[in-house]
Amino acid sequence: MLAAEPRSKSRGAGGIAIWDRAKRFLDLRNKFDWNGEDAMGFVSNLIDPQHWVGSDYDKDKADGATLDLQLLRDKTLALLKQEHDRKPKDQALQQLRRVAERLRHQIATNEPLDTGEPSNLHVTTLWGAKGVTAEHVYILGVCKEALPGQRRDEYPGTDAQYVDEQRRLFYVSITRAKETLVISRALLVGRGPAKQLGLTVTSGSQFWADLKMSPFLHDIMSVLPTAEPGDSWSGCTKESDRN
């Protein structure tokens, strides 16, 4: 086991941080003395940001780490509820193991876009951006129809919980940039592509639908520089090219 090895053992970049987290996890697990019954309570305590974000963190680092942990806790609890609803007679430990497997799978499949050529370009979802930083970050499609979009029936929480989770995803994403951050949104989308993307659109023309600004983007507009139209970047002139 990782925590049983010497902390100073060479493990490459970030090795000591990984060892510290593994050791902290074991310490917290022993501290809570889990009885194997209340899995929800165990997860809520175990992934509580106050147990992980230390006093030595500067404010920006602490805020980012807190958001990351809140997202991880929300996701874990949502998956745990799904497992409980699917197989309520299973023991809590069995449900937790399946949740851990699903989390590992989701993390493992958030791979960068592979073009076959050496590249520093990584494409990921908002969930995949958690815990990752980059010199330059581009967030695309920040429209109300996609972010927050509509809660699906399989989502275990309430509408308010869903919106709060989407808001945290957005704020985690905009804190990933080290140097520059570009936030982009389209004003129009084709009716066909909107259906393929699962976007619920309600206005526009026969072939084109209007897209509204995400309320999360609207909340921070006062601290952002003046927006630039997309055609001023690419030189394209056709409406279809801009969207």
- pLDDT at position 196 is 80
pLDDT one-digit tens code per residue, 44-74 = 888 888 888 877 777 777 887 888 888 888 8
Q: Are 142 and 214 in contact (CB under 8 A)?
A: yes
Please tell me the distance from the alpha carbon of residue 234 to that of residue 239, in angstroms, as a whole number: 12
Looking only at the bridges linking them, the beta strands covering 188-190 and 208-210 are antiparallel
The residue with tokens 């175990």 is 46
Q: Where are the domains of the chain?
A: 13-112, 128-243
Please tell me the distance from the alpha carbon of residue 82 to that of residue 57, in angstroms, as a whole number: 34
Tokens of 194: 């909107």
Class of domain 128-243: alpha beta
- pLDDT at position 145 is 94
Cβ neighbors of 13 (< 8 A, separation 6 or more) are: none
Is pTM beyond 0.85 here? no
pLDDT tens, residue order, the chain (243 aa): 566 777 777 655 556 777 777 787 778 777 776 777 788 888 888 888 888 887 777 777 788 788 888 888 888 888 898 888 888 888 888 888 888 877 776 665 554 444 444 556 777 778 777 767 888 999 999 999 999 998 877 677 788 988 998 998 899 899 888 899 999 999 999 998 888 888 889 899 999 999 999 999 999 999 988 888 877 765 444 444 433
